[in-house]
Amino acid sequence: MSFIPHTPDDIRAMLNAIGVSTLDALFDEIPPALRIGELLALPEALSEGQISRLMAERAAESQPLCFLGAGAYEHHIPAAVWDIAGRGEFYSAYTPYQPEASQGTLQVLYEYQSMMTGLTGMAVSNASLYDGASALAEALLMAVRANRKSKSKRVLMPRTLHPLYRRTAHTIVHNQGIEWVELPYDPAGGHTPMEALAPYAGQDFAALVIPQPNFFGVLEDVEALTDWAHRQNMLAVAVVNPTALAILQPPGVWGVTGADIVCGDGQSLGAPLSSGGPYFGFLCCRQELVRQMPGRLVGRTVDLDGKPGFTLTLQAREQHIRRSKATSNICTNQGLMVTAATLYLSLLGPQGLEQVAATCHANIRALVESLTQIPGVSRSFNRPVFHEAVVQLPRLAREVLDELLKRGILGGFDLSSEYPELGDALLVCATETRNAADLQQYAEALAGVL
């Protein structure tokens, strides 16, 4: 909201109407020991003018030419997307508990689910989660519940999966006894080789996680990984970039029978970077697993007069059933982001999304070719990639990034802290928003820095 209109007199009148003396009294059921007390770390309050100036200054700092990806990507968003999503009917709509009053919201969610199943090749999609990392956590919990052939709470987790996804998922699931074994990656290809799986053949694991593309931008051998998981009675959990699925095989057809659960972050489908969010997570699965899916599903039906309508058809979450029976406590998610994604996908259509993905792929190939012409810069891995790649530098990566930023370029992600064995390696990204002049500007700036 633009401002809070309640004056002290308004607040006093409301408190008097409900018979409460202070705002704090509304929360007296919370034990004092659990209250945070004073927020000492907060700075002094600013006026509206000061806040406006501060945010304008922060926004001005976020204008460098962006070649950083690592899970959040700068894509062109048609102006119509947020012009429509910002309408009051969508922008302020909340959980559609009353279908008779929420047909517009329910139809948008239904269309979103339909598009996501088409994109992933799966039978069912839920109506979103918080982000890609929490979607992975929910997918792992779901896999452990759903795999009737396994008595284990163990999961095989490639090191090529986004490190922040791994940490977030661990935070969410480890207290439920779920543990994972990390799989090493091939130092030449940057992928998970089949040899890394060999020691675990015949062992009891609930699932194998398969990223496509992986954190390095490298394409994994998803066919072989999926079939191996199924031969070992494991579920195949795919973590995918939805934009890449416009030109890559959907997880629903990986291997002989396809992946079992698919998740990821939908930020690339119409959500701006916005200094880190909000984004949204998606989760899809095979029809047989639908009862284990967290969140909610929207279905299409007809009323007593035969007119089409939409309603919540499956709500296996703690607001609707006994907490102990819920598949998850996921409640309010990122419905506004899903609305934007639905509009984005509708406006681009299959051909438009394919064009975006193809342009991303062409740009990263051109960028890597240009950067590796610079003495001392080389490509780290020899396998195909999608819109991200790892390059090796002859100087400290963090120093190079600092110098590039001074020249107006956000140069990429320093991998030295997460993958120290790679040395001074940089994960660079190029989406369809970059043109030939941008790529040349980056190459000239990097050459100058080095």
**Whether residue 314 sits in one domain with residue 207:** yes
- Number of structural domains (the chain) is 2
Q: Which CATH number fits the domain that encloses residue 287?
A: 3.40.640.10
Give the residue carrying structure tokens 């969010």. 277
Shared domain check, 362 and 310 = no
Residue span of the structural domain in which 369 resides: 349-449
Predicted confidence at residue 32, as pLDDT, reads: 85
3-class state of residue 203 by DSSP: coil
- What confidence category does residue 332 fall into, taking pLDDT thresholds of 50, 70 and 90? low
CB contact at 8 A, 142 and 327: yes
Show the tokens assigned to 21.
């003396």
Residues 427 and 319 in one domain: no
Q: Are 338 and 270 in contact (CB under 8 A)?
A: no
Tally of CB atoms within 10 A around 359: 18
Give residue 331's pLDDT band: very low, low, confident or very high (50, 70, 90). Answer: low
The string of pLDDT tens digits covering residues 43-52 is 888 888 888 8
Give the integer Cα–Cα distance in Å for 250 and 246: 8
Do both 358 and 327 map to the same domain?
no
Q: Does residue 413 lie within any of the structural domains?
A: yes
Same domain, residue pair 280 and 427 = no
Confidence check: pLDDT of 21 > 70: yes
Q: What is the pLDDT of residues 304-322, one digit of tens each?
A: 899 999 988 877 655 566 6
Q: Quick one: 208 and 331 in the same domain?
A: yes
**Is residue 392 located within the same domain as residue 315?**
no
100 falls within a domain? yes
- Would you state the pLDDT for residue 33? 85
- Please state, in angstroms and rounded to a whole number, the distance separating the CA atoms of residues 161 and 145: 22
Query: Which region among 205-214, 236-245, 299-308, 390-399 has the lowest average model confidence (pLDDT)?
Result: 299-308
Over residues 91-104, the pLDDT tens digits come to: 877 677 777 778 88
Residue with tokens 């661990």: 170
**CA-to-CA distance for 80 and 345, rounded, in angstroms?**
12
DSSP string of 137-183, one letter each residue: HHHHHHHHHH-TT----EEEEETTS-HHHHHHHHHHHGGGT-EEEEE
pLDDT tens digits, residue range 153-201? 999 999 999 999 999 999 999 999 999 999 999 999 999 999 999 999 9
Q: Which helix (H) or strand (E) holds 361?
A: helix 335-371
Q: Which residue in the block uniquely carries the two structure tokens 């279908």?
A: 99
Average pLDDT, the chain: 92
* Same-domain check for residues 161 and 241: yes
Residue 107 has what pLDDT? 93
Sort strands 154-158 and 207-212 into parallel, antiparallel or unpaired: parallel
Does the pLDDT at position 3 exceed 90? Answer: no
